Structure 1
Amino acid sequence: MSLPTSVTVRALTAVTTVCALALTATACGGTTKKSSSDQGPGTASTASADPGAVLKKGLKLAFLPKQINNPYETIVDNSGIATAKEIGGTAKEVGPSDASASSQVSYINTLIQQQQDAILLAANDPNAVCGPLKQAMAKGIKVVAYDSDTAKDCRQLFINQASSEQIGRSLVQNLGKQLNYQGKIAILSATQNATNQNTWIEFMKKELALPAYKGMTLAKVAYGDDDDQKSFQQTQGLLQAYPDLKGIIAPTTVGIAASARYISSSSYKGKVVVNGLGTPNQMRKYVKDGTVAQFSLWDPKKLGRLAAYAASALCSGQITGAEGQTFKAGDLGTFTIGKDGEVILGKPTVFDTTNIDGFDF
């Protein structure tokens, strides 16, 4: 039997109201909704932060690197996993074996099903992962990007190892000094869609455009896809295509090690300068045999540690991701959230023969 129209309308209205209230309660988590000025990236409405809240115990964190066989990201993630355990939670690393744009999507979907408290990822592509990350946030899962960012509305925080501008410009500055600001150079990057790589490269180009570098030209940006063998082959290809090449900047730990390995056993050793971002343990032999004079990086263990603390602070309500909020990261100190939810670890370190043996990572 059909209900009268007026009754049907009233019933639908009541259902709509209940659903709206339920959605509001879910989004706000039972706390006071703040103004738009307090909203962090990736949130339609942000709950009030309680800086004095105690870090919750038993939090489940999941680290999703660009690829699980990347030595650098293994260091970052292992440090984050150890930190989570130290502060009373659990963490794990999952991820693809390749760094293609969409390779992380299925892992995010699985982590959502597992009801992780936070997903921490180094994005292979700023947009390919956005759909599932937004679904995660809609279900109350916190999202923290580290090392390589997503689009800003697809996460609450981005843990950046150092200022992107500082990284990009300093790599060119270091190479410029080594080459006496003369000669043809190339860049050996990771994947074409890697957010961090592309941002650094843009700042490299801006630095190269300054009058001080009028004697230097950028011949090509090559991509090794963070694959050791492909990066090795790309180095070989660059030197074949540009026999007068004077320097290579590899802003990727996989790329710089592969490039150094090729040059170390070729006629280009001592003639082509290799600089970029690498870990001391993988680059030590190339520094000591004279293939590489210097390279840069931050401490990846500290990056993983900071990411774990930041995710735990988010899950515990100490912060929401809004600019100006602060949180403590154990022995690393206190950090302030900057514009667009960015948290910066610190300045990169330059490694050479004088200090490389003082580091073990």
Structure 2
Amino acid sequence: MMKLAIATLTSLALTTSLVQAQQVYTGGDDLPTNPLACDGTPGTATPMDYDGGTPTNAPDRAGQTLTVVDVPKLVGIGYFAATTQGIMEAAAELNMNATTDGPTRANIDDQITLIDNYITSGVDGILFAANDPVAIAPVLRRALEAGINVVGYDANSEPDARQWFVNQAEFNGIGKAMIDQLAAEIGEDGAFAIVTSTFTTPNQARWISEMAAYQAECYPNMRWLETVEAQEDNILSFNQANTLINKYGDELDGIAGMTSVATPAAADAVTQAGQCGNIAVVGLATPNAMRPYIEADCVKSAVLWNPIDLGYAAAYVLRAAADGTLNPGDTSVEAGRLGELQVINGSEVLLGAPFVFTADNIADFDF
């Protein structure tokens, strides 16, 4: 009887361990996913009604000089320096006075305080990249109630808390690009981990959820070991990547970085650990940050879009919203040198497909 009890407990322990191993928390969200086809067949978008907000009693701003504040997740990193550059380029074309004023760390409370202050001081428009989609929504709704035009980019809020959101790439497109690159480098049965900023950062949570769905469908033998948070902090990102390297040893085939900080930090950790060629690093990052690792052949690729274009597009969308040339139900918007951008998902403007930087093309970019 004792042997039977011990055997039963052992079996339960093994079963529990297996279930836990199969339910590795990915750091994604609980929203429905829409993985793209494994063979690359383009997805089809389902038309949706406008679900954004509307400024209350907004004055007629058509053709008027706009005073606009840009509040990114944080300042002081290359990625948001690039979006600011794009905003300023567009502002020079659009009769717009724009300034960037973000927190020095990716902190939602600091971001809310900044936006609140600009509502009080009075601006015509607010551009933002949210650190938390839910927490930022009330202050953005206050901006709309004050008659301010509100447009998001990079990281969304709840839809009704802004008018439009400029999406750098569709979430399932990023998910496919990331997993396809990982599979190409670590094999279809390789094991990988993720370094993200926080589990609540909206765009990264969506990308990770779509990565999980696409990987399960198209590369079912790949193993997802762990997802760790590192804020948008270079030292913490390096330490988290280093911890993964030490924790999993030979089991770890690849690291996916979900931020422009985490990816080069992971590449640095792999380099310093002497694991170039053994542990692949794939992730979202600016080409300037990844150039040393790609040119040294420690990293094969980085996935991104042009953040200068993203900021540029966001400013054009805000101008169009303020002028009344972009309205609910429209299917496209003109965006200067970017041409005509498509409206998707009711109230999102799509910048375009993700881009893969490699040794063959990275020298062509400087941001």
TM-score (normalizing by structure 2): 0.83
SS at match of 1:90: strand
Is the 8 Å Cα contact of residues 323 and 339 (structure 1) preserved in structure 2?
no
Distance 1:276 1:181 in 2: 17
Q: 1:152-301 alignment to 2 at 5 Å?
A: 152-210=159-217, 212-243=218-249, 244-301=251-308
Could you tell me which runs of 5 or more consecutive residues in structure 1 were left unpaired when the two chains were aligned.
Answer: 1-36, 48-52
Q: Sequence identity of aligned pairs in percent?
A: 33
The within-5 A match list for 1:37-76 is 40-43=51-54, 56-76=63-83
Q: 2: CA distance between counterparts of 1:44 and 1:340?
A: 17
Distance (whole Å) between structure 2 residues aligned to residue 327 and residue 295 of structure 1: 29
- Count of matched residue positions in the alignment of Structure 1 and Structure 2: 318
Q: Secondary structure at the match of 1:337?
A: strand
2: distance between equivalents of 1:55 and 1:273? 50
**Distance of 1:58 and 1:304 partners within structure 2:** 19
How far apart, in 2, do the equivalents of 1:259 and 1:130 lie? Answer: 32
> Would the aligned equivalents of 1:66 and 1:99 in 2 still touch at CA under 8 Å?
yes
Please tell me whether the aligned partners of residues 191 and 223 of structure 1 are also in contact (alpha carbons under 8 angstroms): yes
**8 Å contact from structure 2 (residues 56, 147) kept in 1:** no
The answer (yes or no) to whether the contact 2:177–2:354 under 8 Å persists in 1 is: no
Is the Cα–Cα contact under 8 Å of residues 76 and 301 in structure 1 kept in the other structure?
yes
Kept in 2: contact 1:319–1:325 (CA 8 A): no
- SS of the aligned residue for 1:112 comes to helix
2:165 and 2:344 map into 1 onto residues whose CA distance is 10
Q: Secondary structure at the match of 1:285?
A: helix
User: What secondary structure sits across from 2:366 in the alignment?
Assistant: coil
**Contact 2:56–2:146 (8 Å) recurs in 1:** no
Q: Deviations over 1:246-266 (max 9, x none)?
A: 001112110001111111122
Partners of 2:184 and 2:57 in 1: CA distance: 47
Amino acid at match of 1:42: G
Q: Displacement, 1:215?
A: 2.5
Q: Which amino acid aligns with 2:119?
A: I
Which letter does structure 1 place at the counterpart of 2:234?
Answer: D
Distance 1:138 1:275, change over 3 A: same
Equivalent residues in 2 for 1:89-128, closer than 5 Å: 89-128=96-135
Is contact 2:55-2:149 (8 Å) kept?
A: no
Match of 1:340 among 334, 339, 346: 346
What residue number does 2:311 align with?
Answer: 304
Partner residue of 1:356 out of 337, 355, 362: 362
Kindly state the Cα deviation for residue 287 of structure 1 after the two structures are TM-superposed: 0.2
Whether the aligned pair in 2 keeps the contact of 1:324 and 1:338 (CA below 8 Å) is no
User: What code does the residue aligned with 1:143 have?
Assistant: V
Q: Could you tell me how far 1:78 is from its partner in structure 2?
A: 2.0
CA distance in 1, matches of 2:239, 2:98: 36
The equivalent of 1:323 in structure 2 is 329
The corresponding residue for 1:150 is 157
**Residue aligned with 1:198, SS:** helix
Structure 1, residues 227-268: CA drift from partner, whole Å, max 9, x if none?
Answer: 000000000111111112000111211000111111112221
Residue 137 of structure 1 is aligned with which of 122, 139, 144?
144
Aligned equivalents of 1:73, 1:88: Cα separation in 2: 22
Per-residue CA distance 1:125-181 (angstroms, 9 max, x = gap) = 001111111110011101111000001111100100011110012101111111121
Q: Rate the CA distance shift 1:184–1:194 in 2: closer, same or farther, 3 A.
A: same
Bigger CA radius of gyration: 1
Aligned residues of 2:82 and 2:307 also touching (Cα < 8 A): yes
5 Å-filtered alignment, 1:4-15, equals none
CA drift at 1:54:
9.7
Distance 1:38 1:154 in 2: 16
What amino acid is aligned across from residue 103 of structure 2 in structure 1?
A: P
Contact 2:179 2:215 in 1 (8 A): yes
Residue range with higher mean Cα deviation, 37-46 or 339-348: 37-46
CA RMSD of superposed structures (Å): 1.9
How far the C-alpha of 1:343 sits from its partner, in A, is 0.5
